[in-house]
Chain A
Amino acid sequence: MATKASHPNSLSKKEAAVGGYFKAISAIVWKDLRAEFRSWELISAMLVFSLLALLIFNFALELDVKTRQSVTAGVLWATFAFAGTLGLNRSMSIEKDRGCLDGLLLAPVDRSAIYFGKFFSNLAFMLIVEAIVLPVYSVLYNTNLFQPGLIAIILLGSVGYTSVGTLLAAMSVQTRTRDVLLPILLFPVAFAVLLSAVKASGGFLNGADFAEISFPINLLIVYDIIFIAISFMLFDAVVEE
């Protein structure tokens, strides 16, 4: 993209538009990440919440060696889901409270670029938190969660969860009940992604054969595609004034 930008005359109009679109997305992601790496308010909140959730699960479920084998995937995904709503809510509230959203909407870029920008930065926050929670869990419970299959599932699941979560968060921050509403809106819709992610992760952790986990993986992929596409199309209706 950098080379494209340096030779604007050699580009056709369409290519320039595509370049501008990706530029707008990366500008939003960059803005979010920079703001976050200065304040750390979002990631630190998600992270501390995740660790507390692990602590509560540990005592609520008495995670001894035997139970751990069957519930690790569920504990991880419940933690990610709750921490995820925290992050999604905050990331959109910041935009709304300080009037940034209006500024973004005034920018001469396609509205869906704003959606993808927010989506990628929310995804980045969620993945950063997951990247810290996984080793912590591995150390605490003396298991190795760094398996390529599991990481791929976590990536797929997080993509699905944040894709629809970003759209719903953009809606919920504009309501009177804001913080309360996001989980209520998101959980029933994201139920399928969480369920298949738990099933697939559990399969990987317990060494099931691929035939058994290929169905939930396919479902995750289908979910990701459908919900990215639908959020991309509907984001405009959600932010228009």
Chain B
Amino acid sequence: MNKKPLALKILDLVSIVLLIAATYLSIFVAPMERVMGNVQRVFYFHVGTAWVALIGFIFTAALSVIYLATKNLKWDRIQVAAVEVSVVFFLITIILGSIWARPAWNTWWTWDPRLTTAAVVELVYIAYFMLRQGLDDPNKRANFSAVYALIGGLSAPITFFSIRLFRTIHPVVIAGTNAEAEGSFSMSGGMLQAFFFALFAFTVIFIDLFWNRIRLGEAQAKVEEMKINAAY
């Protein structure tokens, strides 16, 4: 195992500092939303985690294509890292959204297009890990995972449109208006600051975790290789 690079060590520290700063900004600096009150502060982390998770998922689909074209196991390790970190962030998004929805919509959960799509997407990537668990051969595992991640990535937009058959109440805060949305608001200066800072902070945190996870995957591959060598 090669030593942890200095850049990654610095990034670890920066991530921690950014997380603390983003928490401070969203709790103490951003003004309180007039109608929803303090619970609206969940929004900064909700969008922050959603943003990185969704980018992670799109990235995953691209990695599938790259892996299938090159058949280099390196891309598989990167893909697992991306999926794993994204799944966790997306779960946080869903939980935070639920916490906000309780006071704002008066329910923890509703089968709204975005919520349903989120649940289905999360399930696709949980299934992805169950698929991986059932396979021992690294090449086959990488092949199957790439195929499944690609299919899952393609099905997500179709799922979203299919639930548009029913009306939505999820607010579109950025660039968009939805007359039926409940719990919508427009952001003032302090809010925008906290919002963009949270986006930035989570992007850095994501990259940090992603990098660490790739290193973990490399170590795992090495262990697997050593086990095989020891067996013969």
Contact = CB atoms under 8 A, between A and B. Distances in A.
Given A175-B135, A191-B155, A234-B151, A185 B127 contact: yes
A181 B159 CA distance: 21
Given A177-B133, A184-B130, A188-B127, A234 B150 contact: yes
B77 to A, nearest CB: 18
Contact of B147 (A167, A175, A191): A167
Contacts of A216: 162, 165
Contacts of A191: 120, 155, 159, 162
B115 interface: no
A178 B162 CA distance: 29
Contacts, number: 92
B151 A189 contact: yes
Instruction: Report, as a range, how many residues of chain A touch the other chain.
Output: 20 to 34
Interface of A, secondary structure class, is: helix
A128 interface: no
Interface stretch (A71-79, A130-138, A143-151, A218-226): A218-226
Interface string B119-151: 011011001001101111000100110111011
B59 interface: no
Contacts of B134: 172, 175-178, 181
Given A174-B140, A192-B159, A226-B158, A185 B165 contact: no
B67 to A, nearest CB: 9
A195 B135 contact: no
A176 B162 contact: no
A30 interface: no
A17 interface: no
A196 interface: yes
B167 to A, nearest CB: 13
A189 B151 CA distance: 7
B130 A189 contact: no
A215 B147 contact: no
B163 interface: yes
Nearest to A241: B140
Contacts of A172: 131, 134
Given A187-B123, A230-B150, 10 more contacts: A168-B148, A175-B134, A175-B144, A177-B133, A181-B131, A181-B134, A184-B127, A195-B163, A234-B151, A237-B146
23 contacts: A164-B151, A171-B147, A171-B148, A174-B144, A175-B144, A176-B133, A176-B136, A178-B134, A184-B130, A187-B123, A188-B120, A188-B121, A189-B152, A189-B155, A191-B155, A191-B159, A192-B161, A195-B162, A196-B165, A223-B158, A227-B151, A237-B68, A237-B143
